[in-house]
Amino acid sequence: MPSHNPAFGRGFANAGAGNGQQSAQWGAPQYGAPTQDPYAAPSPYARSPYAPPATRYMTMDDVVQKTGLSFLVTVLAAAAVWAMPGQAAWGLALPAVLVAFVLGLVIAFKQIANPAATLSYGALYGVALGAISEAFNNIYPGIVVQALIGTFGVFFGMLVVYKTGAIRVTPKLTRWIVGAMFGVLALVLVNLIAGFFTPGGLGLRDGGPLAILFSVVVIGVAAFTLLLDFDMADEAIRRGAPAKFAWYIAFGLLVTVVWLYLEILRLLSYLQDN
């Protein structure tokens, strides 16, 4: 079955490579002459043809555990930075964001699935999130708690929607979501460039009514992106991906949840200013 999520198609192909080898092993019987003496004693180190496969396949428990650990590392890093005295956190925030951005691109395009890469990404973004959250909370007391509640509310809401089949991830829906993601990215870049020539750029991030509407749209796109992440996990399990592939799924979920949290934080700040 082809992947509905184009961002993970190659990863599924790599992850499912073991199934082809297993199929060859359990394929049609060979009627040619035996290559070994049938009366020779088997080596004690020889692997039985009826032994279970050496590769352990991914389960939903793997996804939950790896994703939970990645979120925990991110939260702990954010809390540690928030606890730093004065404005020391801001000296770490920008380098952490830049390194995390580059690392995220490498993980995404090279389909890296290992704990070091995913947990490093979570720790780096945790540093940035700690500084950003502290700054927002100093201006708008209590806003971080509201943003966290909103983020996990959306996460679990979309999980329920996905599991109940209220919204099915189809190729057409996937194309719409991916197109919306690129559209949002293009508008953000255009707004940034326009800001160099006109105060506020296109007005997408100035806190006005258009900015509020844009944030609502971005939150909606991020929420629907979670459906692609959930579908990726299910499809990887169906294809018999190796257990370590759960780290790549955890990375994808972490990227989406961080994006969702930052946009909800931004929207709440707009609403408090109006």
pLDDT digits (tens, 9 = 90+) for 178-190: 999 999 999 999 9
* Per-residue confidence (pLDDT) for residue 54, from 0 to 100: 59
Q: What is the DSSP letter of 242?
A: B
* Per-residue confidence (pLDDT) for residue 262, from 0 to 100: 95
* Per-residue confidence (pLDDT) for residue 244, from 0 to 100: 92
Residues of the chain with pLDDT under 50: 1-52
User: Residue 56 phi/psi, 5° resolution?
Assistant: -90, 125
* Per-residue confidence (pLDDT) for residue 19, from 0 to 100: 43
R_g of the chain, CA atoms, integer Å = 23
From CA 51, how far away is CA 46, in angstroms rounded?
A: 10
* Per-residue confidence (pLDDT) for residue 9, from 0 to 100: 45
Half-sphere exposure of 207 (CA within 13 A, CB side): 9
* Per-residue confidence (pLDDT) for residue 91, from 0 to 100: 80
SS (H, E, C) 4-69: CCHHHHHHHHHHCHHHHHHHHHCCCCCCCCCCCCCCCCCCCCCCCCCCCCCCCECCHHHHHHHHHH
Task: Please say whether the beta carbons of 67 and 250 come within 8 A.
Answer: yes
- The residue with tokens 């930075």 is 81
Does this model's pTM top 0.75? My answer is yes
